[in-house]
């Protein structure tokens, strides 16, 4: 931090100001001049190589052991091999919706329109029809959920009086080639 002045045009009115500023910044940032030994880069080089090599040989040992089927529990990498090996999800995570079923396989939904009403994204569209059982009154003739619009707020699940819609499939990889394919109907929602 010496001879800072030489880096600035002495004629410039801001030079003195800038130098003072830099000196103050240097002081505040708690930095210091490197010693000669540190300037050779060797200590940091060696400690850096030591750190990366430690990881390298540790991981390599376990990768090789895994080839022989030993020590499978200790992982050689912190990554998940995603499509084959999904990450563990929290049970309260809101994932893709599903319609729960009654014992006879029909949807639990009674088409009360609560979810359709509460939905802030307006992605649910229910067509109600009369259920033959007078105790149930209504059932959804069609239950359309546009995942392209859904914001995954979970209001529909909270508001449902019949526990008919849940967001616990654990599906996150919702990708389709067209917007139309993002629109899920009753059949697709009841698949799992």
Partner 1 sequence: MNDILIKFILSAGTLFIMFNIAGLLTWVERKQSAVMQDRIGANRASIFGFKAMGLFHAIADLLKMLSKEEFVPEGANKFLFNLAPYLSVIFALVGFAAIPIGGALVLNNHVIELQAANLNIALIFIFAMMSMGVYGVVLAGFSSNNNYAFLGGMRGAAQMIAYEITMGAAIMGVIMVFNTIDLQVLDRAQGAYLLGGWLPKWGVFVQPLSFFLFLTAATAETKRVPFDLPEGESEIIGYFVEYSGMKFGMFFLADLVETVLVAALMTTLFFGGWQVPYLHPDGFYFPWGAHAALSNLPVVILGVLSFFIKVAFFIWLLMAVRWTLPRFRYDQLMNLGWKILLPASLINIAITAVVITILG
Q: Is 40 in the site for partner 1 (CB under 8 A)?
A: yes
The H or E element spanning position 99 is: strand 98-99
Residues 63-82 that bind partner 1 (CB under 8 A): 63, 76-79, 81
**Interface with partner 1, residue 3, by CB under 8 A:** no
Residue whose token pair is 């699940």: 157
The closest of 105, 142, 149 to 127, measured between CA atoms, is 142
Residue labelled with tokens 């992982």? 75
Q: Which two tokens stand for residue 58?
A: 């540790």
Pick from 6, 11, 55, 87 the residue near partner 1 by CB under 8 A.
55
User: Does position 60 bind partner 1 by CB under 8 A?
Assistant: yes
Q: Please list, in sequence order, all residues whose beta carbon lies within 8 angstroms of the beta carbon of residue 168, skipping any fewer than 6 positions away.
A: 91, 95, 98
Given the complex with partner 1, which of 21 and 52 has the nearer CB atom?
52
- Closer residue to partner 1 (CB): 54 or 102: 54
Residues that bind partner 1 (CB under 8 A): 39-41, 45, 48-49, 51-53, 55-56, 59-60, 63, 76-79, 81
């Amino acid at each position: 931090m010496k001879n800072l002045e030489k880096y600035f045009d002495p004629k410039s009115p801001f030079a003195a100001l800038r130098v003072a500023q830099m000196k103050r910044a240097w002081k505040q940032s708690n930095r210091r001049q490197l010693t000669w030994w540190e300037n050779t880069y060797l200590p940091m080089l060696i400690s850096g190589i030591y750190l990366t090599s430690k990881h390298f040989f540790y991981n390599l040992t376990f990768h090789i052991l895994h080839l022989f089927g030993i020590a499978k529990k200790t992982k050689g990498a912190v990554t998940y091999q995603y499509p084959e090996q999904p990450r563990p999800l929290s049970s309260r995570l809101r994932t893709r919706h599903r319609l729960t079923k009654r014992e006879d396989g029909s949807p639990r939904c009674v088409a009360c329109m609560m979810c359709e009403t509460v939905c802030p994204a307006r992605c649910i569209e229910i067509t109600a029809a009369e259920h033959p059982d007078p105790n149930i009154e209504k059932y959804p003739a069609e239950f359309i959920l546009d995942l392209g619009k859904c914001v995954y707020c979970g209001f529909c699940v909270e508001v449902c009086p019949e526990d008919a819609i849940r967001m616990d499939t654990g599906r996150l990889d919702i990708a389709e080639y067209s917007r139309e394919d993002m629109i899920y109907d009753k059949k697709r929602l009841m698949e799992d």
